[in-house]
């Protein structure tokens, strides 16, 4: 019942969300779309996967249906269910069935979080059959030619129980994402926050220093998303140290010792 999803459609000429390309991923995605192949985006959180899909959907002029997967998400949440109203039972398409019927791009963010029963519906959709079995109605929906399945997954969480099964991952064209090169990351920070070159250069320097820290007990390091948030606070008038503390240091850790090690790096970079 609690599938979280939003639909963005582009009935007229869409404005294309800004996306700074890293290394040819736009072309690869476009080829996969034309060849009717599903795509798997791998990479750490906050490195631009969602923005990439939004950008490509707008470029290809397809509606985008995004589902944030979580550990209660079942196949029925994706496919649909019968709802009772006015004494009648009425079939209600879930987000995946809607995308399959209407030729949208369906983006399942953090797909490994979803319940295992979702695999049963994803497999026949992700290979050359391109069908969505709807168990409750006995239907097999043939996907519209424009339908595309995109899933994302963060291998960095190191949760063996939550790895993608080989039989699932081998159905997808894989695109590997990472934090952008400094020049590109600077451009993203400036475009997303309105920060000037001095601020963006300093934040990228800070990111480089923080990403080098390997002796700290961090699940993940600073993402482009966190740098953009810090830049926005700085542009709004917050002192750099305060902005970095709130949006980077305290966002990365709850541990006092780790926080003070990160804060030292922040201090060293911004006092240069």
Q: How far is the CB of 49 from ligand ADP (least distance, A)?
A: 3
CA angle 225, 228, 234 (to 5 degrees): 145
Q: Least CB distance from residue 153 to ligand ADP, whole Å?
A: 11
Asked if 225 touches ligand ADP (CB under 6 A), the answer is yes
Stretch that binds ligand ADP, among 16-24, 128-136, 157-165, 243-251 (CB under 6 A): 16-24
Binding mask 49-88 for ligand ADP (x = CB under 6 A): xxx-------------------------------------
Measure Cα distances from 262 to 97, 203, 238 in Å.
45, 14, 19
Q: Residue with CB nearest ligand ADP?
A: 48
- Using the rule CB under 6 A, give the single segment among 46-54, 64-72, 140-148, 205-213 that binds ligand ADP: 46-54
Distance in Å, CB of 155 to ligand ADP, minimum:
13
Q: Using the rule CB under 6 A, is 224 a contact of ligand ADP?
A: yes
Q: Rule CB under 6 A: choose which of 16, 36, 45, 163 binds ligand ADP.
A: 45
Least distance between ligand ADP and beta carbon 247 (Å) = 12
Element (H, E) at 178: none
Asked if residue 38 binds ligand ADP (CB under 6 A), the reply is: no
CA dist., res. 239 & res. 234, Å (int): 6
Nearer Cβ to ligand ADP, position 51 or 98? Answer: 51
**From the list 5, 14, 19, 114, which residue makes contact with ligand ADP (rule: CB under 6 A)?**
19
Look-up: residue for tokens 């482009």?
224
Do 94 and 77 form a contact (C-beta atoms < 8 A)?
Answer: yes
Residue-wise burial string across 92-131, b where 16 or more C-beta atoms lie within 10 A, e elsewhere: ebbbbbbbbebebbbbbbbbbbbbeebbebbebbbeeebb
Nearer to ligand ADP (CB atom), residue 106 or residue 141 = 106
**Which residues ranging from 162 to 191 are in contact with ligand ADP (CB under 6 A)?**
180, 188
Burial of 184 (0-12, 13-18, 19+ CB in 10 A): middle
Which helix (H) or strand (E) covers residue 85, if one does?
Answer: strand 80-85
């Amino acid at each position: 019942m609690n599938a979280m999803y939003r639909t963005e459609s582009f009935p007229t000429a869409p404005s294309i969300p800004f996306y700074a390309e890293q290394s040819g991923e736009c072309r690869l995605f476009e080829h996969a779309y034309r060849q009717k192949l599903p795509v798997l985006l791998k990479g750490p959180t906050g490195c631009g996967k969602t923005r990439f899909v939004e950008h490509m959907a707008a470029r290809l002029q397809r509606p985008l249906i995004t589902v944030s997967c979580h550990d209660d998400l079942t196949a029925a949440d994706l496919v649909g269910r019968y709802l009772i109203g006015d004494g009648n039972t009425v079939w209600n398409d879930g987000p995946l069935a809607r995308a399959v019927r209407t030729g949208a791009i369906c983006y399942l963010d953090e797909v490994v979080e979803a319940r295992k029963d979702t695999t049963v519906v994803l497999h026949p959709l992700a290979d050359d059959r391109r069908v969505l079995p709807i168990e409750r109605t006995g239907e097999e929906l043939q996907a519209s030619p424009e339908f595309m399945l995109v899933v994302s997954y963060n291998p960095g969480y190191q949760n063996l129980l939550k790895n993608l099964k080989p039989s699932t991952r081998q159905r997808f064209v894989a695109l590997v994402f990472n934090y952008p090169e400094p020049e590109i990351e600077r451009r993203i920070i400036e475009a997303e926050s309105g920060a000037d070159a001095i601020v963006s250069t300093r934040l990228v320097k800070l990111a480089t220093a923080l990403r080098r820290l390997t002796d700290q007990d961090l699940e993940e390091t600073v993402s482009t998303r966190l740098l953009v948030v810090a830049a926005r606070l700085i542009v709004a008038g917050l002192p750099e140290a305060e902005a970095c503390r709130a949006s980077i240091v305290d966002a990365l850790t709850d541990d006092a010792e780790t926080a003070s090690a990160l804060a030292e790096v922040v201090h060293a970079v911004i006092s240069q």
